[in-house]
Amino acid sequence: MNIKNIFILLVSTGVVFQSCKKMDAGPKDSIDPSRAFRNLNDVNMGVLGTYAPLGASLIEAGAIVSDEVMFPTENTVSNTEQHRWLYNSGSGSVTSAWYEYYDVIDRANRVIEALPNVPVNANTQSLLNQYHGELLAVKAYSHFELLRAYASSYNPDGMGVPYMKERKVGSPARETVKSNFDNINADLKAAKELIPAGFNDNTRITRTAISAIQARVALYEKNWPDAITYASEVIASEPLAPKNDFDKIWTDNSQSEVVWRLARIVGDGAIGSIFFRQTGDIVLYAPSFKLINTFNRTDDIRFNSYITYNQARQDNSGGVKSAYLVKKYVGGNPVTNPGLAAVKLFRTGEMYLIKAEAELENNNTPAGITAAAQTLNELRRARIYNYTDQTFADKASLVTAIYNERFKELAFEGHRFFDLKRRNLPVERTAQDAVNTSGAIKLETTAAQYCFPIALLEMNVNKNMRQNPNYQ
């Protein structure tokens, strides 16, 4: 069933989610959750309805504002403020995720509220526990995505986001980043204890998916031991894709190393639509030459899986069309439904990079460097033909190598902008990639746009909300 249509089904059966587009006004249910979720089937539909709003808004936003795409001069209409770092609290291109994830959180809290009244027996308790675990995990994940996008910084005392532990109205204030991490980790821990080990549907949150979320959270929190532990759990459970399977991941013909995905069918929004040809053969965003030039185009299987070259679009006289196109989200039927691909939220490749970085930061000695290099080399061997293991003389060179590998491995998956923010580094584009940016070549860490703004509507209705620094 189309997960987006679960919402319609829920409404027709009496389960109504009507979250307001602002947190202060409070949702207006036509039926109380305790009456709407009367049995396990109702709860299952509620869980599916909770997943439904999850999309790719931060994946697209993270690509557009970073240095992994360029803005072809053929694109004269789309998201110019986003790519040129002109966005503010009224810019839906960077504030829509605020509503998307709080919608998910509100739905999760409504179903969780009803669970104590759902009748179960000894044979069905484990299924109710699974649903409860999924709801806690998707709630924690959504809060973490909000934190990544809207925190004033990732320091413990930075301004985080309101953590909605339960369904309620009012004017919630921003909590500290540390408080957010504490609550996220608590919900993930509880969720992991509830979900059965044998549950393996990767279109939903499994125990392995929770380990993947925990690993990413620990990376941002700089909890290096936990990052190693959780990333290793995923690696042990879900091996890297064989070389001859890797390109099939992106056409949805293989589930190798895909830990959690959002399934998409005809009628759903197409992830990566910003990368495909629009009316008039216009491509809105193309891979940056900065990114292209990091690949070994001959031996690295990621290059041809992620990027394609269309010679017919090449204009040697200096024309405006980009000959390089993003291929990563082409999907299973690029002719009739380009971009209709499952959203791969977590893959094992990311876990190797988390583990390598955490091993290096956790043990700043020759032994730590050796362990981290071994993990990085293992990933590279899986991605690059004729690869020879590399050694690194010091921590600085290995850190650079790990982040360069993240640039390649996770291209267009919504990480690059936040990776730079984790290291407090500016976004820097090459002159070749900035020909159509009106001078938007370097985004300094002190600029307002280095953090996404809290939505203007939220600022207007929530008396306790504080805006990120330097926004007027």
Domain ranges of the chain: 1-63+86-196+453-472
Rg (Cα) of the chain, in Å, rounded?
22
**What is the rounded distance in angstroms from the CA atom of residue 140 to the CA atom of residue 190?**
10
Per the structure block, which two tokens stand in for 456? 């203007």
For the residues of 58-77, what is the DSSP string, one character each? HHHHHHHTSSSEE--TT--S
Taking phi over 0 as left and psi of -120 to 50 as alpha, with beta for the rest, 424 belongs to left
Q: How many CA atoms lie within 13 A of 293 on its CB side?
A: 8
Residues with Cβ within 8 Å of 192's Cβ and at least 6 positions away in sequence, in order, are 133, 137, 207, 210, 211, 214
Distance of CA 223 to the CA centre of its chain: 20
pLDDT score of 25 = 40
Which residue bears the tokens 């050694």? 391
pTM: 0.92
Q: Are 332 and 282 in contact (CB under 8 A)?
A: no
Which residue bears the tokens 């583990």? 355
Per the structure block, which two tokens stand in for 341? 């691909």
**Letter for the amino acid at 127?**
L
Candidates 302, 303, 288; CA nearest to 379 is 302
Specify whether domain 1-63+86-196+453-472 bears CATH 3.60.15.10: no
Residues with Cβ within 8 Å of 208's Cβ and at least 6 positions away in sequence, in order, are 200, 233, 234, 237, 238, 259
**What is the rounded distance in angstroms from the CA atom of residue 207 to the CA atom of residue 205?**
7
3-class secondary structure, 48: helix
Q: Are 275 and 326 in contact (CB under 8 A)?
A: yes
Per the structure block, which two tokens stand in for 196? 């059965």
Distance of CA 284 to the CA centre of its chain: 21
Candidates 155, 144, 151; CA nearest to 191 is 144
Taking phi over 0 as left and psi of -120 to 50 as alpha, with beta for the rest, 14 belongs to left
The tens place of each residue's pLDDT in the chain, 472 residues long, gives 233 333 333 433 444 444 444 554 444 444 577 678 999 999 999 999 999 999 889 999 999 999 999 988 776 666 588 999 999 999 999 999 999 999 999 999 999 999 999 999 999 999 999 999 999 999 999 999 999 999 999 999 999 999 999 987 789 999 999 999 999 999 999 999 999 999 999 999 999 999 999 999 999 999 999 999 999 999 999 999 999 999 999 999 999 999 999 998 887 777 877 887 666 667 889 999 999 999 999 999 999 999 998 776 665 444 556 788 899 988 877 777 777 889 999 999 999 999 999 999 999 899 999 999 999 999 999 999 999 999 999 999 999 999 999 999 999 999 999 999 999 999 999 999 998 888 999 999 999 999 999 999 999 999 999 999 999 7
pLDDT score of 279 = 63
For the chain, give me the number of helices (H) and strands (E)? 18, 10
pLDDT score of 169 = 74
Q: Are 469 and 453 in contact (CB under 8 A)?
A: no
Per the structure block, which two tokens stand in for 54? 């999850």
pLDDT score of 283 = 80
